[in-house]
Structure 1
Amino acid sequence: MTTTTTQPDRTAQEVVARAEAIAAKLVDRQAETEERTYYAPETHDEFVEAGLYRLLVPRRYGGLELGAETFARVCMAITRGCPSSGWLYMFGAAHSLVVGSLFGDQAQRELFAVGDFICPATVAPSGSATRVDGGWVVNGTWRYCSGAPYATHFMGHTLVQQGNGHEPTPLMFVVPRESWRLENDWGAQLGLRGSGSHGITVTDAFVPEHHTREGFLSMVDATADLPGRALHSPEYGGGPLSFMLLELGILAVGMAKGALDAYADLMRSRTTMFMPIVPRTEDPDFQFRYGEATGMIAAAEAAVIDAVRQWSDLAARGGAAITRAEELRLALIGREAVRLCWRAVEGQLFPTAGSSSIRSGERFERVWRDMSMLHSHAGLGTFLASMANRELAKAHFGLL
Structure 2
Amino acid sequence: MNAAPEVGLIERARALAPLIAGEADEIERTRRLTPAVVNALIENGLYRALLPQSLGGAEAPIETFMQMLEEIAKADASTAWCLGQCSVCAMIAATLDHDTAQEIFNTAPGILAWGAIAHEARSVDGGYRVTARWDFASGSRQASWLGAHVRIVGSDGVPRKNPDGSPEVRTILFPAASAVLHDVWEAIGLAGTGTDSYEVSDLFIPERFTAFRDVPSALREQSPLYRIGIGSTFSLGFAAVSLGVARATLDAAIALARAKHQSLAASAMRDNQSVQGLIGRTEGDWRAARAYLYATANAMWHDLCVTGEFSAAHRSAVRLAATWTIHQSAKVVDTAYHMAGATAVFRKHPFERRFRDMHAITQQIQARDTHYEDVGKGILAGG
Query: What corresponds to 2:151 in structure 1?
Result: 159
What code does the residue aligned with 2:129 have?
Answer: V
Q: Distance in 2 between the 1:154 and 1:311 partners? A: 30
CA distance in 2, matches of 1:165, 1:118: 31
> How many residue pairs get matched?
376
Q: Which amino acid aligns with 1:366?
A: R
Following superposition, the deviation at residue 42 of structure 1 comes to 0.6
- Superposition pairs for residues 189-204 of structure 1, below 5 Å? 189-204=187-202
Match of 1:27 in 2: 21
Hey, what's the Cα distance between the residues in 2 that align with 1:208 and 1:81?
Answer: 40
Report % sequence identity: 22
Q: Is the 8 A contact 1:121 1:156 kept in 2?
A: yes
Q: What SS does the corresponding residue of 1:149 show, helix, strand or coil?
A: coil
The answer to whether structure 1 residue 267 and structure 2 residue 257 are counterparts is yes
Larger mean CA deviation between 129-138 and 76-85 belongs to: 129-138
Amino acid in the other structure paired with 1:139:
T
Shift of 1:360: 4.2
Shift of 1:49: 1.5
What SS is found at the alignment partner of 1:363?
coil
SS for the counterpart of 2:193 is: coil
Alpha carbons of 1:311 and 1:103: their partners in 2 closer, same or farther (altered >3 Å)? Answer: farther
Aligned ranges 1:232-247 → 2 under 5 Å: 232-247=222-237
The whole-number CA distance in structure 2 between the counterparts of 1:268 and 1:29 is: 26
1:349 equivalenced with 2:336 (yes/no):
yes
* Residue in structure 2 matching 1:313, options 284, 302, 313: 302
Once the two structures are TM-superposed, the CA of residue 10 in structure 1 deviates from its matched residue by 3.7
In the TM superposition, residue 253 of structure 1 has moved relative to its aligned partner by: 0.3
Are the structure 2 counterparts of residues 119 and 361 from structure 1 closer, same or farther at C-alpha, using a change threshold of 3 Å?
farther
- In the alignment, which residue of structure 2 is the partner of 1:211? 209
Aligned to 1:42: 36
For the residues of structure 2 that align with 1:292 and 1:170, how far apart are their CA atoms? 46
Q: Decide whether the 8 Å contact of 1:117 with 1:153 is kept in 2.
A: yes
* Change in CA separation of 1:173 and 1:313 when aligned onto 2, cut-off 3 Å: farther
The SS at the match of 1:158 is strand
Gaps of 5+ in 2: 162-166
Q: Give unpaired runs (5+ residues) of structure 1.
A: none
Deviations 1:285-331 (A, max 9, x none): 22222222222112222222222223322432345x32223211221
In 1: Cα distance, 2:20 partner to 2:104 partner: 30
TM-score of the superposition, structure 2-length normalised? 0.89
Q: Does 1:83 align with 2:77?
A: yes
- Residue number in structure 2 paired with 1:365: 352
DSSP-derived class of the 1:125 partner: coil
Q: Is 2:88–2:233's contact at 8 Å kept on the other side of the alignment? A: no
> TM-score scaled by structure 1?
0.85
Which letter maps to 2:195? S
2:327 is the alignment partner of 1:333: no
Q: Closer, same or farther in 2 for the Cα pair 1:272/1:356, shift >3 Å?
A: closer
Letter paired with 1:309: N
Partner of 1:253: 243
Which residue number in structure 2 is paired with residue 173 of structure 1? Answer: 172
Correspondence 1:132 to 2:137: no
Name the CA distance, whole Å, in 2 between partners of 1:181 and 1:308: 38
**Cα distance 1:329–1:66, how it changes in 2: closer, same or farther (>3 A)?**
closer
Deviation at 1:73, TM superposition (A): 0.8
Distance 1:171 1:302 in 2: 36
- Specify the code of the residue in structure 2 equivalent to 1:85: T
Aligned to 1:55: 49
1:245 shift after superposition: 1.7
1:143, distance to aligned residue in structure 2 (A): 0.7
Q: Distance in 2 between matches of 1:343 and 1:121?
A: 30
What SS does the corresponding residue of 2:368 show, helix, strand or coil? Answer: helix
Q: Spell out, residue by residue over 1:52-71, the C-alpha distance to the aligned partner (whole angstroms, 9 max, x if none).
A: 11211111112222332211
Shift of 1:244: 2.2
Q: How far, CA to CA, are the matches of 1:383 and 1:153 in structure 2?
A: 32
Answer whether contact 2:59 2:225 (CA < 8 A) is retained: no
Q: Compared with structure 1, are the counterparts of its residues 146 and 393 closer, same or farther at alpha carbon in structure 2 (3 Å cutoff)?
A: farther
CA distance in 2, matches of 1:42, 1:165: 45
Structure 2 residue identity aligned to 1:244? F
**Cα distance in 2 between the residues matched to 1:174 and 1:393:** 40
- Output the CA distance in 1 between the equivalents of 2:159 and 2:110: 40
Question: Does the alignment pair 1:286 with 2:286?
Answer: no
Aligned to 1:276: 266
The one-letter amino acid of 2:357's match is D
Q: Distance in 2 between the 1:185 and 1:165 partners?
A: 31
SS in 1 for 2:147: strand
Instruction: Specify the code of the residue in structure 2 equivalent to 1:363.
Output: P
> Please, which moves more after superposition, 354-363 or 135-144?
354-363
**Are the counterparts in 1 of residues 63 and 294 from structure 2 also a CA contact under 8 Å?**
yes
- Structure 2 CA distance for partners of 1:19 and 1:165, relative to 1, 3 Å: closer
Aligned-pair Cα RMSD in Å: 2.5
Aligned partner of 2:164 in structure 1 is none
1:73 lines up with 2:67 in the alignment:
yes
Q: Is the 8 Å Cα contact of residues 151 and 159 (structure 2) preserved in structure 1?
A: no
**2:51–2:58 contact (8 Å) kept in structure 1:** yes
Instruction: Identify the residue that residue 184 of structure 1 maps to in structure 2.
Output: 183
- Could you tell me how far 1:89 is from its partner in structure 2? 1.4
